[in-house]
Every structure is written in C-alpha cells, then in structure tokens.
Structure 1
Amino acid sequence: MSAQLTAQFLPLTHRWNLYAPGVMVSFMIAASAYYISSRLGGPVMLYALLFGMALNFLSDSDRCQPGIRLSSKTILRLGVALLGLQITWLDVAALGLSTIELVIAAVTLTIIGGVFLGRLLKLDKSYSVLSAGAVAICGASAALAISSVLPVDKEDSEKLESQTLLVVVGVTALSTIAMVLYPVLINAIGLDDKTAGVFLGATIHDVAQVIGAGYMISDETGQVAAVVKLLRVACLVPVVMIIGLIFRSELDARRGSKRPPVIPFFLFGFLAFVGLASIEVLPESMAIFLSDVSRWFLIAAVAALGMKTSLKKLFTIGYAPVLALALQTCLLAVFVLAVLI
C-alpha cells in the first residue's frame, strides 16, 4: 500500500479506535436490555438505563469515554431522525381535524402548565421544560431530543445529564403504570373503542405502552391509539425548535455556554423521513429495517446516558422533580379526558 493511501486511512482508523469501545459497550447494553425485556417483560428503556448505571465507572475510562459521549449525542440524534419513518401525512389526516386540534392543544397545555408547576415547585426552568416536553410528546425520546438543544456550560452539563436521566426513568415508569391503569379507567367510564384509542394515544408517554394498552381493549383501539401517538411524535419538531429558540435567546447573559443551532440537523432528518414514508418511496423492508435501527440507536443512547450518570447523584435531586412529572402526567390525562367526555 502506498504511503499516500496509508495516510488517507489513518484518520479513519484513529476515529475507529477512539470511538469503538464506548459505542460497542452501549450497544452491548442495549442488546442485553432487549433480551431481558423480551424474556421477562418490562420497558426495554428502563433496563438499558439500569444496566448503564451499573457500569457508570466506564464513563471515567479514557478508552470508553469518547464512544459513550458519541452514543449519547450523535447516535441519539440519528435515532430521533429515523423516528420520522413511522409517520405519514395520510395517517395524520385520517384522524380528523378535531383529533388533531385536541392533540396540539394537549401538548401545548401540558408544556405551559408543566413549566408553571415547575415554578411552583421551585425547579430549574430547564428541568421543567424537559419533563413537560417528555410528558407532552413521546416520553424518553422527547426528553433526549429536548436535552440536546438546551444550552449547556461546563458547570451545568453534568446536572442536565442527571435531570435527563431522571425524566427518562420517570416517564418510563409512569407509562408502564398508565398502561395498566388507563384501560381499567376506560372500562369504568364506558368509552367506545375509537374514543378510547384517542385517549390512550394522547396521554400515555411511550409508544410501546400506548400500543400495549390499546390492544388490551380491542384491535380498533390499538390502531387508533398508535396513530394518535405518532401525531404527538410529529409535534417533536416544532416543540424542539421553539424550545431551542427560547433558550438560545437567553444565552447572551451566560458566558461559557455552548450555543446550540437554531434548527438542529436531526429535525431536518426527521422531516425528510416523514416525507419519504408519506410518498412510500422506500421499499417496505427498508422502512422496517430503518425503524428497527432507530429503536436500537435510541436504546443504545439511553444506555450511554445511564453510564454517564451515577445513581448516588441521581438520588440527591430530591422529590420535587418526581412530583412534577406525576402532576404533569395527571394534567395531560385530565385535560384529554375532559374534552372527550
């Protein structure tokens, strides 16, 4: 091999050696979490978090640290972008204007009300926005996407990671509780299958739990719930853009903060994949494959986030953030139910 060709490959080889250990550990944890979830049940994201936290010491390793950081940022954003393949404009239009208006109103009210609740509980504005956005839109995925556009300096970086982890744990746990309790509530109230699907899709945080709760009632409920949930996922783009712009305007008074882009690149990717899914230009097998890639990327990102946060520091956050998540969840459910009945 010529010296010139060797020189061309050196940077690639260096990058591989730099990032591979941490990235491989993140995906190994993701695979372990998926296996345990498929065998024993339970949320795969929660397993990934717990396994990652158990390996927190790896985040201090010079060998693993770069790959863990790459997994918690770049791979996360790629996973969020690929979520767009699960949504088509026809599916959204089929819901009807009233359902679309309900979802938009519920997302808006939850975020604004969640921030207000955070102020009452004397929480950081960043945490209030983070938790409210996760509750309003799509749980763990929304929390990760929103955290990526919040301004961070060296002092706040570790704090933001701990807050993000707490939100991911909280919304995952609340989603599981809702998956069990909401079908019981629906039967007690006597909602029809379609209305029940709208309620579940508009209130439960994570997609998997929405589908699980919906199909507990009926196939129609499960199908409607899934589409309504994906409409909430579509709200991720404007919400993240608005949050990024609001926090960006506050950076002038803060020295040392890293200025996030006005519109993160992964949101353009999200919209592009929504467009591809809508015009059905990709073969079905390719769309399914990329959707699976998105899920694996998000699980690996959660595992990496777990490795970057210690359990001891997580417990020092206190009860108020957990209470805020619970109250935001109740606010969303009460509003949607009040409109539907």
Structure 2
Amino acid sequence: MKKIIPGLLLTLGIAYISRFLSNLFPVHVIGAGVIALFMGMILNPWVSQREGLYPGITFTGKKVLRFAIILMGISLSFHQVLKVGSFSLIVMVFTLFAAFFGGYLLGKLLGLDWKLSGLISSGTGICGGSAIAAVAPVIGAKDQFIAYAISATFIFDVFMVVLFPLMGEAMNLSDLGFGLWTGTAINDTSSVVAAGYSYSEAAGDFAVIVKLTRTLAIIPVVLIFSMIAKKHSTGKTSPHILEIFPWFILGFLAMVGLNSTGWIPASLSGSLSTLGRFFMIMALGAIGLRTNFKELSRSGIKPLIHGISISTLVVVVSLVVQYFLGSL
C-alpha cells in the first residue's frame, strides 16, 4: 500500500482538477476524462523521472479502471432497451456494424495495428472513452494506442456538438429523429447530452436513453475482442472460454442486472454511478501519465483519419437507416 499511495494520490488530484475544469465549460462540452488524459500526458516527462509514482499509477490504470467499468453498470438497465423501442435498436445494429466492419477495412487500408483500429472502432461504435478503456485491457493495448483512440473520437465529438443541432434544424428533424440520431452517432456521453439538449428537452431525453442503451454493447464487444486477442497470441482458432473471459465484465453485468430489478434506490444508484465516473477519470489520468507524447506522435495522422472517417460513416448510416424506417 505504501508503494501505491503516492501515484494513487497523483491520479486523484488530476481527477479532481479535471472535473473542476470540465465544469467551467458550458454543458460539459469537454469531458473530465479527456482533460485528465491530456493533463497526464503533459505531466509524463516529470513522472518518468520519479519511479516511486509508477506502482500507484499502474494500479489506477489497471485495477481502478476495471472497478470503474463495473460501477458503470449501475446506471444502466435492461428496461432501457424496451423503452428505446425497435427503431433505435435497428439503427444501433447498423451503426455498430458500420463502426466495426468499416473500421476493420479502413484500418487494413491504412496499415494500422489491429489493436489501435479496434479501439477507435469501439470508441466510435459504443461510447467513446469508456468503451476504449473497457476493450484495452483484454487486448493488451499500449497506453499510446488508448490515448490516440480517445483523442481521435474526442476531436470529432467537439465538432459534432456544434454541428449536430445546426444540421438537425436544417433537415427539420423531429425531436425523436434528432434524439435517435444523436444517441447513436455521437460518441461520448457528455457530448450526446450537450448536443441533444441544445436541440430540445425531448430530443435530449431520448438521446440519453439511446446512448445508455448503446453502452450495453460493451458486453458482447469485450467478449469478441477477448477471443480475437487470444487467437492472435496463441494462434488458436477457438480458444477455451475460461482462457479469454474478461471476468470484470461479470461485475458490470451484475450491476446492470441489479439496477434492472428496481431494488436499488435511485439515490444509491446515482452515487455509485458518480463514483464510477470519477474512478474512470482517475484511470484515464493514469493512462495519460504513462503515455509519452513523442511516441504518440510517431503514429502520424493515419489514426486520426481513421477515427474521423469511421465517425462520419456512423453519422451517415444512422441518418440513412432512420430515413428508410420513417423515424425522422
């Protein structure tokens, strides 16, 4: 514990400062997790000269990260899937397919490492930094890959928070159509909230429900990536489930199940969800502290092209599917 405390306190401080800075922005356009990641990267040269901080930073980036993912489940429920309805589930199937299949093909075309390509697709298809953080440990992704994937999705979200309401007005979208479009096409939850409620109260409510339901895709995606990672490391075409199962996802699923029963008071659920989000900010700060900006820059512009291209594809697919379903 003595070895862990210094680095743990550093990530705790970064998380508090990041949350404070995030609150300075109108409707949290920039999430605290992204600020913590960048702050950690800025401090990396200083941290790299102080080995005593590394045990706590590593603990936060691995153990606290998994605990944060588990607590994320308390804000979700299977009832949300029923609330959202058939339209949104159909749209989500198509956007997830576009993110992962399109991301795979574009990653091959650009010559990207499959782990980096997979992280960008996960962030784009599911829920930004949270999905990237959930997939990263099961595929053994480098901290540089995590940082680049989050950066790529973040840059796209910043533009979409401004452009989505303008495009929605130009296309005269209904509150339902805009909420569904925003909830399935924008990555980070804070960005979905910012774009959705700037259009209308009803559109914001619907966008948040769709976005939270989309987060449940973390479960099958993490399992699939576990199998892919094991195949790459061992060459086995069908590894044993016990070899590849990410056990922390059971905790996530258990939390979703508990919240679905309705037995957990809303106040407790809200507190645990807030705690989980704070732990995630700490973990992203730790990842930033272990990320060398010079090494990150060597990846060049290709990952950024990948992220923006796949995010744009998801935006278009979501709109086209809704058009054919008649939900706009």
Normalised by the length of structure 2, the TM-score is 0.92
Q: Which residue of 2 aligns with 1:211?
A: 193
Verify the 8 A CA contact 1:107 1:232 in the aligned structure 2.
no
Q: What residue identity is the alignment partner of 1:128?
A: S
Structure 1 residues 111-150: aligned runs within 5 Å: 111-150=100-139
Give the one of 60, 64, 70 matched to 1:71: 60
Verify the 8 A CA contact 1:198 1:224 in the aligned structure 2.
yes
Whole-Å separation in 1 of the counterparts to 2:159 and 2:146: 20
Question: Secondary structure of 2:204's partner?
Answer: helix
Whole-Å separation in 2 of the counterparts to 1:59 and 1:264: 30
Q: Which residue of 2 aligns with 1:24?
A: 9
Shift of 1:59: 4.3
Give the one of 185, 193, 211 matched to 2:175: 193
Describe the shift of the 1:195–1:316 C-alpha distance in structure 2 as closer, same or farther (beyond 3 A). Answer: same
Whole-Å separation in 2 of the counterparts to 1:253 and 1:79: 31
Shift of 1:46: 2.3
Give the one of 78, 82, 99 matched to 2:71: 82
Whole-Å separation in 1 of the counterparts to 2:247 and 2:234: 23
Greater C-alpha Rg: 1
Whole-Å separation in 2 of the counterparts to 1:261 and 1:128: 23
Whole-Å separation in 2 of the counterparts to 1:265 and 1:39: 37
Whole-Å separation in 2 of the counterparts to 1:340 and 1:70: 44
Shift of 1:164: 0.9
Shift of 1:43: 2.6
Give the one of 19, 36, 39 matched to 1:48: 36
Describe the shift of the 1:78–1:261 C-alpha distance in structure 2 as closer, same or farther (beyond 3 A). Answer: farther
Question: Secondary structure of 1:325's partner?
Answer: helix
Verify the 8 A CA contact 1:214 1:225 in the aligned structure 2.
yes
Structure 1 residues 1-341: aligned runs within 5 Å: 16-41=1-26, 42-56=30-44, 57-151=46-140, 160-253=142-235, 261-341=243-323
Question: Identity of counterpart residues, as a percentage?
Answer: 30
Give ranges in structure 2 of 5+ residues lacking alignment. Answer: 237-241, 324-328
Whole-Å separation in 2 of the counterparts to 1:283 and 1:43: 27
Verify the 8 A CA contact 2:7 2:55 in the aligned structure 1.
yes
Whole-Å separation in 2 of the counterparts to 1:17 and 1:131: 36
Shift of 1:104: 2.1
Whole-Å separation in 2 of the counterparts to 1:132 and 1:60: 34
Q: What residue identity is the alignment partner of 2:3?
A: L
Shift of 1:40: 4.1
Q: Deviations over 1:136-183 (max 9, x none)?
A: 00001111111111146xxxxxxx210110111221221121111111
Describe the shift of the 1:125–1:101 C-alpha distance in structure 2 as closer, same or farther (beyond 3 A). Answer: same
Q: What residue identity is the alignment partner of 1:82?
A: L
Q: What residue identity is the alignment partner of 2:302?
A: A
Q: What residue identity is the alignment partner of 1:281?
A: W
Give ranges in structure 1 of 5+ residues lacking alignment. Answer: 1-15, 153-159, 255-259
Q: Deviations over 1:214-256 (max 9, x none)?
A: 11011110111001101110000001101111221221259xx
Q: What residue identity is the alignment partner of 2:9?
A: M
Verify the 8 A CA contact 2:226 2:244 in the aligned structure 1.
yes
Whole-Å separation in 1 of the counterparts to 2:217 and 2:24: 33
Describe the shift of the 1:292–1:59 C-alpha distance in structure 2 as closer, same or farther (beyond 3 A). Answer: farther
Shift of 1:86: 1.4
Q: Deviations over 1:181-228 (max 9, x none)?
A: 111111111110011100000000001110111110111101110011
Verify the 8 A CA contact 1:210 1:229 in the aligned structure 2.
yes
Verify the 8 A CA contact 2:15 2:36 in the aligned structure 1.
yes
Describe the shift of the 1:263–1:199 C-alpha distance in structure 2 as closer, same or farther (beyond 3 A). Answer: same
Verify the 8 A CA contact 1:45 1:172 in the aligned structure 2.
no
Q: Deviations over 1:92-122 (max 9, x none)?
A: 1011123212212211221111010011111
Shift of 1:333: 0.5
Shift of 1:25: 0.4
Whole-Å separation in 2 of the counterparts to 1:108 and 1:82: 27
Verify the 8 A CA contact 1:103 1:231 in the aligned structure 2.
no
Normalised by the length of structure 1, the TM-score is 0.89
Q: Which residue of 1 aligns with 2:326?
A: none
Query: After the TM superposition, which segments of 4 or more aligned residues of structure 1 sit over 3 Å from their partners?
Result: none
Equivalent residues, number: 315
Whole-Å separation in 1 of the counterparts to 2:252 and 2:6: 28
